Amino acid sequence: MEKLAIQGGNPVRVKPFQNWPVWDEREEQALINVLHSGIWGVSAEEGLIDCFEREYALVHQAKYGRCVFNGTAALEVSLRAINIDYGDEVIVPAYTFMATATACLMVGAIPVFVDIDPNTYNLDPDKVEAAISPRTRAIIPVHIGGNPADMDRMTEIAKKYHLWVIEDACQAHGAAWKGQRVGAIGDLGCFSFQSSKNINAGEGGIILTDNEELAELCWSILNCGRVREGEWYQHEVLGGNFRMTGWQAAILLAQLTRFDELARRREENGLYLAECLAQVDGFQPLTRDPRVTQHGYHLFICRYDSSAFNGLPRHAFMEALQAEGIPCSEGYVPLYRMKAIQDGTRRLKRFLTGKESTEPYPDCPVTEKACYSEGIWFAQTILLGTRSDVDDIVSAVMKIMRNICS
């Protein structure tokens, strides 16, 4: 049998996967143009930021786009736009990047953590309903890894209980649910253009919506509380300066010109990898709902079952896989276990009730399992190559399995 690379054998793969970011003279020229134009930020005349807002909204079938400096800011501005008040509750998945929850705390709302579906790692709709209280004002479904959450159920629950839906689509550029791109399926949708994301300007974010009133509020909140028809020093809404720069917009417009091509490649290779892994008992990709018509593939997430690998713990399997030349990671920790979130929640509750709160962790067994023994992430860049690059991933997993189980 071939010796595992971690035991000194030859690795399945020595070539690196696709570098990130992908760029060429389009980005280079766009930056030079901004430099020479002298318009480096938001301007009175139509500029690149307005142009990107329009283009990105169009790509996502939304009426309005509002650029901000990052995805975290997009979430905060969105929460302010729906007029979240101190002590309001917002339902968020326990399995996501911390910003989904910290954005709530930063505007004085309490994130209520709800467990995920074991097949998709997205918010479990049944558990969402059980977590609703009289203080609940909004739900933030996260399209984890670019795989759209069940937006039918989210919309239905929101309607029934009169809640807002803010989609955290920071990982879901291009993703679609029943033919509709994510972002404006809920009331507001937030995207990130941070370095790792599938459209990248180093930093950046956008809010999408079909609701004109919310779009205007977002404009005000991110523009220091100004109103469009008002005077420069007339501030009507509590807001801040959340604006994007012209440099970011220029890069994003260039990135957008190759987005379809990259998204198509991720989709093709993602489907192919899922098909290959369907044969591998104990290493299953997350389920793609048949209503998902396009997957964002920011991450390709698999569920590792150590019992199919003779009890080999996840960390040991990952070390062996990395040694074979396949980069992977274990992903998140449950958000309610994070000190920052615990401290922020405790402080807010102390202010609201005058008492120290000592609440136990929410009951999220699926999140615990995903974080501590099951979830394995592959970055989107592994899907940007050829089929034979994808084959290497499958070969490496099979090689480990043969060695461990023989």
Ligand X SMILES: *Cc1c(COP(=O)(O)O)cnc(C)c1O
Which positions touch ligand X (CB under 6 A)? 70-72, 96-97, 99-100, 142, 168, 170-171, 192, 194, 205
Nearer Cβ to ligand X (182/397): 182
CB of 163 to ligand X, least distance (A): 19
Q: How far is CA 30 from CA 37, 38, 69, 191, 244, in A?
A: 11, 13, 18, 22, 16
188: number of CA atoms within 13 Å, CB side? 30
| Closest separation in Å from C-beta 70 to ligand X | 4
Q: C-beta of 276: minimal distance to ligand X in Å? A: 26
How far is Cα 324 from Cα 397, in angstroms, rounded to an integer? 9
What backbone torsions phi and psi does residue 111 show, to the nearest 5 degrees? -75, 130
Residue whose CB is less far from ligand X, 239 or 282: 239
Nearer to ligand X, 146 or 282 (CB): 146
Q: Kindly tell me which of 20 and 161 has the beta carbon lying closer to ligand X.
A: 20
User: Could you give the maximum distance between any two Cα atoms of the chain, in Å?
Assistant: 76
Minimum separation from the CB atom of position 57 to ligand X (A): 18
Which residue number, 100 or 294, has a Cβ lying nearer to ligand X? 100
Residue carrying structure tokens 């069940």: 150
The residue number with the shortest CB distance to ligand X is 71
CB 230 within 8 A of CB 258: no
Residue 168 CB, shortest distance to ligand X, in Å, is 5
Strand residues in 199-259 grouped as ranges (E) = 205-209
From the CB of 187, what's the least distance to ligand X, in Å? 17
d(CA 37, CA 219): 24
Integer angstrom CA distances of residue 301 from 30, 144, 179: 34, 9, 23
DSSP 308-322: GGTT--HHHHHHHHH
Nearer to ligand X, 205 or 246 (CB): 205
